[in-house]
A and B are shown apart, each in its own frame.
Chain A
């Protein structure tokens, strides 16, 4: 059973729409949650981290965490073609080793 699950996509949205990316995790003691963006052939870059239940907003990005339901999501408002990338969800269950990455959701923003 995968520890961090994401729909591989592709998720296609028109330019200007809201893109919603979801991630579920299995370890209930998970403490830290991260969203990374990875362009093709490049390394992951951090978009946001979230630690507490609720929403966290940063510009066009909003991360949502629900520990009771064990899911974390990322909303991208006013999606742009430059947002087209693979989005990785990462979960830290504590300690230096236990960061688990999902396989990523590919987002395509159609002009």
Chain B
């Protein structure tokens, strides 16, 4: 089945600890995205990548880092510099920019809680 997988589903972080969230897609999509969602709020863009070995900061990149070494994978690291990381993290991918290819599809999400 084609789709986007995220792991783990739930993640707990201690203060001062870095954690990495996994995102893998087998849709052959070029673009991948990371969003953060807080209760009652919309999706806020953290980072995005159009192609392998290239990525751009979104609106709330501080305290986060990413890599794009493979087309299928776009892991997100939440560093200790992110002061309020408790949130629902969503990975998405998109095939292109033309009509009918510019739809973003989402993975199941990772819920991160700081202890």
Q: Which residues of A contact B (CB under 8 A)?
A: 4, 8, 32, 34, 36, 41-46, 49, 51, 88, 90, 92, 94-97, 99, 101-104
Contact = CB atoms under 8 A, between A and B. Distances in A.
Contact of A51 (B41, B90, B99): B99
A75 to B, nearest CB: 20
Contacts of A90: 104
Interface residues of B, number: 24
A43 B107 CA distance: 7
B interface SS class: loop
B45 A97 contact: yes
Interface of B: 31, 40-43, 45, 48, 50, 56, 58, 90, 94, 97, 99-100, 102-109, 111
A73 B31 CA distance: 27
30 contacts: A4-B42, A32-B99, A34-B103, A36-B106, A41-B111, A42-B108, A42-B109, A43-B106, A43-B107, A44-B90, A44-B106, A45-B106, A46-B105, A49-B100, A49-B103, A88-B42, A90-B104, A94-B97, A95-B97, A96-B31, A96-B50, A96-B97, A97-B56, A97-B58, A99-B45, A99-B104, A101-B43, A102-B42, A103-B40, A103-B42
A8 B43 CA distance: 14
Contacts of B105: 46
Given A43-B90, A97-B45, A97-B58, A92 B102 contact: yes
Contacts of A94: 97
